[in-house]
Structure formats: structure tokens, C-alpha cells
Amino acid sequence: MFVSQIEFRINIVDEVKNWEEAIEIVSAPLLKDQCINQNYVEEVKENISKESYRFLVDHDIILAHSRPNGDVKKNGLSFLKVNKGVQFPNLKNKNIKLIFVISALSVREHMDWLQRFAKIMDDVHMVEKLNNATTKDEIIEIFKKKIY
């Protein structure tokens, strides 16, 4: 399920102007698929601007999200790789390259997503492979090998 959720929601860009643009790009597939609305994206950006460290995961990954609410229409997951990295507020000396956004309809489903991420977060080699990947197909294969 993880791979099917993310397979068509992967973007790779060389660089972004700032972290807000990164959040807009990574959220775009979820908006397109009507998993979330623009209010959810704005909530995520507001949360990050206040407490970005809460969304920082081991290995310099951002897992952006907000509470399950009426702005979430479907469970969803999206991924963005920023090749040159991007700085997030209140995270000194962190050049973030891997950004996920999740949307969950309920607290239980929200927790399920977080548990799935535990498999990614504790694997330094997988994160290194994601950092080195250059195509969407490579990224999908990395996820398939780890999740299945």
C-alpha cells in the first residue's frame, strides 16, 4: 500500500527558492488527487514555520503533516527530492533533500503512516540510496525493496 500511495506522487527537482516552495511542490500531487485541499497545505506551512524541528526525522528527512481534519479528503502520501537541498526554519545546518507529506483521515491512520515511516527512518543505507537516486523509477524501486 505504501508504494501504491506514493508511486505517482514522486517529484525530483534540482532546487527550490525556499522551504515554502518545497512544501507547495510536494503537496501538489495530493491536491491534484483531491486527498487534501489548499487549507491543509497552509496548515502544514504554518506548523513548520512555528516548529519545524517537530517534522525533522532522523537522517535529515522532513515528514510534513497536520492533524486529521476536514481539510483531508483521503489518506495520501507524497515525496519530493530536492537535489541541492533546502533550509527549513529553526533547523540550523540542515540541508534537507527528502521531504514527505502525509494526509490521514483519522488519528489511527495518522499513526499507521508514522509506523510505516519507522522502516524508512531507521535505515541509513536506504536514506543514502534515496539521496543518490536520480529518477522516479529508482526511488520507487528503493521503496519497494524496503517496504515489501
Which set of grid coordinates corresponds to residue 118? Answer: 519507522
What per-residue confidence (pLDDT) applies to 6?
67
What cell numbers appear for 145 in the block?
525493496
pLDDT at 120 over 80: no
Measured N-to-C along each axis, helices 124-132 and 136-147 cross at an angle, to the nearest 10 degrees, of 170
**Rounded mean pLDDT of 128-135?**
93
pLDDT tens digits, 6-64: 668 999 999 999 999 999 999 999 999 999 999 999 999 999 999 888 888 876 889 99
Residue with cell 503533516: 65
* 105, three cell numbers: 483521515
Residue 109 — very low, low, confident or very high, per pLDDT cuts 50/70/90? confident
Exposure of 14 in the CB half-sphere (CA atoms within 13 A)? 0
Mean predicted confidence (pLDDT) in 97-110: 91
Q: Which pLDDT value is given to residue 2? A: 52
C-alpha cell, 48: 513548520
Give the bridge partners for 13, in sequence order. 82
Mean pLDDT, the chain, rounded, equals 88
Instruction: Convert the pLDDT of each residue in 67-82 to its tens digit.
Output: 888 999 998 889 999 9
Residue type (1 letter), 21: E
More confident residue, 135 or 125: 135
Q: What is the DSSP letter of 18?
A: S
Mean pLDDT of 119-125: 77
φ/ψ (deg, to 5) at 60: 60, 50
